[in-house]
Amino acid sequence: MYEKELEAVSHFSLDGAPVKIEPIICGNINSTFKVTLDNGHNYVLQNVNANVFKKPEELMANVAGVCSHLKKKLAATGGDAEHGVMNFATSDNGSLLYINDEGKYYRLYLFIEGVSYQSISRPELFYSAGEAFGNFQSLLADYPAQTLNETIVNFHNTVSRYKDFQAAVMGCKLPERLEESKEECLFFESREPLTHIAVDALKAGKMPLRVTHNDTKLNNVLIDPVTDKGVCVIDLDTVMPGSVLYDFGDAIRFGACTTAEDEPDTSKIAVDLDLFETFTRGFIAGLGGALTDEEYDHLADGALLMTYECGLRFLSDYLNGDTYFRITSEKHNLIRARAQIALLRDMEKKLPEMKRIIRECRA
């Protein structure tokens, strides 16, 4: 059992021999395993999904560069350079990836103790996530983001996403779906100006290009179960150049919503301003003043932007016949799109209050 995984581990430079391999059931993309060595040290082995990440070498080049920078910064500031950042083992070809005979890509990194919480059972956890992601931005503020590979092209380019939506409408081969979602289509068309908030500001140099994590969910911060403090930001596969609005906005979209993102009863959906403030306080504390005034002024807009983009993608996939997102029912993507619309409507009402909270957290 786990012969392929054992074979992969044997190609990495380690200080011991593996005595146990067990699957880690988390994440939807990569296959993940905990590897225990005979000296008691633990590592994480991952089979990188090359169907999703088409260029694993470019992905790992991003991860390696960012982790090296983080490690140096943590060492220089008295942080934990061993556990506060992912530390990867080198394979026998000098790379951070091992490719087996079947063309599968493997990587191995030091296991970091901490809990990956799947839900916000206590506000303190959301604060810690905000602080960790803010600190992530602070430590990488001087990293040359333009040198990173764009491993998923136009991932948060909302102008491009809107064009994809238009193409989905024009090319829809499911007329009944197009008819059923007419109101939703009109809603996204009416909010098209949102697509330009970050894209245009980056292009004009009004906001700096930054290293963005692009998947700022609670479970991507390992948290100390005793202190509730963030230990390490993980899952760096989507690290790319972008705007800080993406990371802040998506964290709020997902974490400060009163329901799951596929709640069919839209009357239950709202942005929880208490959770919004909790995350914002943590995020700004972690930043340590790393952002520009322009970025702070538009952080709340980032929540609207990412909610709009996510809903737009759900609706586009529905019109395209559900070819991207995993669904559990025929109208799952339409339900998701409607949930994002409801959340966005509530955010629009509460935007002045959200911006006030950000100003107070900065003071």
Instruction: Output DSSP code: residue 323.
Output: -
pLDDT digits (tens, 9 = 90+) for 29-68: 788 999 999 999 999 999 998 887 889 999 999 999 999 9
Give the H/E segment covering residue 168. Answer: helix 158-170
Tokens of 338: 């409607």
- Both tokens of 361, joined, read 């957290």
- The full set of domain ranges for the chain reads 3-110, 123-362
Instruction: Report the run of H or E that residue 240 belongs to, with start and end.
Output: strand 240-242
What is the model's pLDDT at position 49?
A: 87
Instruction: Give the pLDDT confidence of 286-315 residue by residue, as tens digits.
Output: 999 999 999 999 999 999 999 999 999 999
Query: In degrees rounded to 5, what are phi and psi of residue 200?
Result: -70, -40
* Total residue count of the chain as it appears in this document: 363
pLDDT below 50 — which residues of the chain?
Answer: none
Identify the pLDDT of residue 27. 61
**Three-class secondary structure assignment of 75-140:** HHCCCCCCCCCCCECCECCCCCCEECCCCCEEEEEECCCCECCCCCCCHHHHHHHHHHHHHHHHHC
Give yes or no for a contact between 126 and 279, defined as CB atoms under 8 angstroms apart: yes
Nearest to 198 by CA among 141, 155, 139: 155
Tokens representing residue 363 in the block: 């003071």
The reported pLDDT for the residue numbered 28 is 60
Q: Say yes or no: domain 3-110 is CATH 3.30.200.
A: yes
Residue 5 burial class via C-beta count within 10 angstroms: exposed 0-12, middle 13-18, buried 19 and up: buried
- Which string of DSSP letters, residue by residue, matches 13-57? --SS-EEEEEE----SSSEEEEEEETTS-EEEEEEE-TTTSS-HH
What pLDDT score was predicted for residue 25?
77
Fold of 123-362: Aminoglycoside 3'-phosphotransferase; Chain: A, domain 2 (3.90.1200)
pTM: 0.94
